[in-house]
Chains A and B, each alone.
Chain A
Amino acid sequence: MEYTYYPGCSLEASAKSYDESVRFVFKALGQELVELEDWNCCGATYYMSTKETISLVISARNLALAEKYGRDIIAPCSACYTTLYKTNHILKNNPIMKAKVNQSLKKDNLEYNLSLNVRHPLEVLVNDIGTDTIASQAHISLDGLKIAQYYGCQIVRPDRGLDDKENPQMMDSLFEALGAVNIYFPVKVRCCGGMLMTTYSDVALELNKEILECAHENGSDLLVTTCPLCQINLEAYQGKINKKFKTDFHIPILFFTQVLGLALGGTPEDLGLKRNLIPFQLKEKSQESIR
């Protein structure tokens, strides 16, 4: 199947490995991603919470550009996904806002007619392709790999009816099918603080410490996430957290597509593993082929 791909700003810089691994995984599974031509920043929650109409217009420009192709649009970054999804939802339910947005878009001869579905790659992989199909195409077993499945906030909330919002299962079932062990991880949807790491770092460091602590105490080999902001908070600030709380965490933080890509036979280069600050590699025993 073909999908319109919306990488978002983070995936071109700090989360480059997410972009690389998403592209690899979809290609390996025979799906085509077509990058949206001349996409712009979604505006994230920062725009949404400051200027309502403008934020919706900015986000809707992408939807209008994508609509021509009639394919579902997929956005890997949790913030992009939430913002585009929310814009679509608001415009579908609020005719006045839709009129305002389209009147603005007209200045660029664009119009959005509400026909798109905004989707996240995790959900596309699980629902369109299916965990059984993915598992049957995996070359490498993740046998015994202990994973902390961290979903963060914005992929399951606010409620979109795709997965349980308190105890989501999509990543759990995907990695279980690949042989991994999902550790007990009750903080799987707890907030990492997002941009509070910049504005109120004391609060954010505390939140991240709790997530790392839970992963550590339950014996995880690594933590996987779906969000660029969670990834950078948990990985790049781990040293600072160790210093502040006198802890000794050394937990690799990977995008779920990086680990999935390994199972599908990707090399560290394919999946941007060298961009991680805390190195991760599969142990010898789990590198044996399943078939």
Chain B
Amino acid sequence: MTEGEQKLKIPGILGKKEKELRESFLQQVVNIPGGESIKKCIQCGACTGSCPVSYTMDVTPREVIALFRAREIESILSSRTIWICASCYACTIRCPQGVQVTDILYALKRLAIEQEIFPKRFPVHALSKSFIGFINRYGRSYEPGLILSYFLKTNPFKLLGMIPLFLRLFPKGRIGFLPKKIKGKKNFSRILKEAEILEMVVPVQEL
């Protein structure tokens, strides 16, 4: 059992936590354009069949929708599914009922991050964190820095495995020496700060 799962299984807290999770999630889902379509799912499995990585998921996309409707959000949040999704949108375009599957998985992922439901040194979260760190600092992404920061957060030994690739790309001029920064960095930080506050503001909407 992961740390995150334990956190959710403490008796007594579960009720409140569950309620919070559900409300927060429902709020996020209705904000997605077409998010209310989750109610129309007919459990046909076109999403799972279309997904190129569903074979490695513990909970398939179809099951995610079913679990959600059965109010089993915790099982979804502690699954591997939301992290393995590569954002290819195959499920979304094939759904005969117009369920925005990919965007719903994003909403679940955001929720799992908010609730910190994942093991330590978790790869996808580490990569997100590294990526976001560079954007916040420079306004731009920086590939070598991203890879370095990611492996230091997860498995520093794997960095060695990246050296051959680096040596092949570098002479081709495909690796930047230093990160590029945007000019309006100061105001960019002010924008981010304001957005961070507004992120917490959830408008009251009828569910």
Interface positions of A (Cβ within 8 A of B): 9-10, 12-16, 38-41, 43-54, 57-58, 61, 89-90, 93-94, 96-97, 100-101, 103-110, 153-154, 157-159, 165-166, 189-191, 193-196, 198-200, 203, 207, 236, 274-277
Q: Does B42 contact A (CB under 8 A)?
A: no
Which B residues between 20 and 39 are near A, CB-CB below 8 angstroms?
Answer: 28, 31, 33
Query: Is A50 a contact partner of B132 (Cβ separation < 8 A)?
Result: yes
Count of chain B residues with a beta carbon within 8 Å of a chain A beta carbon: 62
Say whether, besides A49-B109, A195-B127, A236-B165, A203 and B84 are in contact (CB < 8 Å). Answer: yes
Contacts of B201 in A (CB 8 A): 100
Query: Is A90 a contact partner of B33 (Cβ separation < 8 A)?
Result: yes
Contacts of A157 in B (CB 8 A): 88-90, 92-93
Which B residues between 135 and 187 are near A, CB-CB below 8 angstroms?
Answer: 135, 139-143, 147, 150, 165, 168-169, 172-176, 180, 182-184, 187
Closest 9 CB pairs of A and B: A191-B88, A157-B89, A108-B187, A153-B88, A57-B195, A9-B141, A107-B190, A199-B123, A40-B139
Q: Does B207 contact A (CB under 8 A)?
A: no
Interface positions of B (Cβ within 8 A of A): 28, 31, 33, 52-53, 56, 83-84, 86-90, 92-93, 100, 102, 105-106, 109-110, 113, 123-124, 127-128, 131-132, 134-135, 139-143, 147, 150, 165, 168-169, 172-176, 180, 182-184, 187-188, 190-196, 198-199, 201, 203
Of the listed residues A46, A93, A109, the one surrounded by the most CB atoms of chain B closer than 10 A to its CB is A46
Contacts of B33 in A (CB 8 A): 89-90, 93-94
State the Cβ distance, B32 to closest chain A Cβ, in Å: 9
Of the listed residues B31, B84, B124, the one surrounded by the most CB atoms of chain A closer than 10 A to its CB is B124
**Would you list 28 pairs from A and B whose C-beta atoms are within 8 A, ordered by A residue?**
A9-B141, A12-B176, A13-B142, A15-B174, A39-B182, A49-B87, A49-B109, A50-B128, A51-B132, A104-B192, A104-B194, A107-B193, A107-B194, A108-B188, A108-B191, A154-B87, A154-B88, A157-B90, A157-B93, A165-B93, A166-B93, A195-B86, A199-B124, A199-B127, A207-B52, A236-B168, A275-B172, A275-B174
Apart from the given pairs A154-B87, A194-B88, 8 other A-B contacts in the complex at a CB distance below 8 Å: A38-B182, A41-B139, A104-B191, A105-B191, A110-B191, A159-B93, A196-B86, A275-B173
Q: How far is the CA of A165 from the CA of B95 in the complex (A)?
A: 13
State the Cβ distance, B162 to closest chain A Cβ, in Å: 9
Query: Is A158 a contact partner of B195 (Cβ separation < 8 A)?
Result: no
Q: How far is the CA of A106 from the CA of B190 in the complex (A)?
A: 9
Query: Is A103 a contact partner of B198 (Cβ separation < 8 A)?
Result: yes
Q: How far is the CA of A114 from the CA of B144 in the complex (A)?
A: 35
Contacts of A199 in B (CB 8 A): 83, 123-124, 127
Contacts of A50 in B (CB 8 A): 109-110, 113, 128, 132
Contacts of A10 in B (CB 8 A): 141, 143
Query: Is B31 a contact partner of A94 (Cβ separation < 8 A)?
Result: yes
Contacts of A153 in B (CB 8 A): 86-90
Contacts of A52 in B (CB 8 A): 28, 31, 110, 199
Contacts of B182 in A (CB 8 A): 38-40
Query: Is B131 a contact partner of A196 (Cβ separation < 8 A)?
Result: no
Query: Is B124 a contact partner of A14 (Cβ separation < 8 A)?
Result: no
Say whether, besides A14-B143, A50-B113, A277-B168, A100 and B87 are in contact (CB < 8 Å). Answer: no
Q: How far is the CA of A109 from the CA of B136 in the complex (A)?
A: 19
Query: Is A96 a contact partner of B203 (Cβ separation < 8 A)?
Result: yes
Query: Is B110 a contact partner of A49 (Cβ separation < 8 A)?
Result: yes
Residue of B nearest to A194 (CB): B86
Say whether, besides A195-B86, A200-B84, A12 and B180 are in contact (CB < 8 Å). Answer: yes
Q: How far is the CA of A61 from the CA of B183 in the complex (A)?
A: 13
Contacts of B147 in A (CB 8 A): 198
Query: Is B53 a contact partner of A51 (Cβ separation < 8 A)?
Result: no
Residue of A nearest to B172 (CB): A275
Query: Is B132 a contact partner of A47 (Cβ separation < 8 A)?
Result: yes
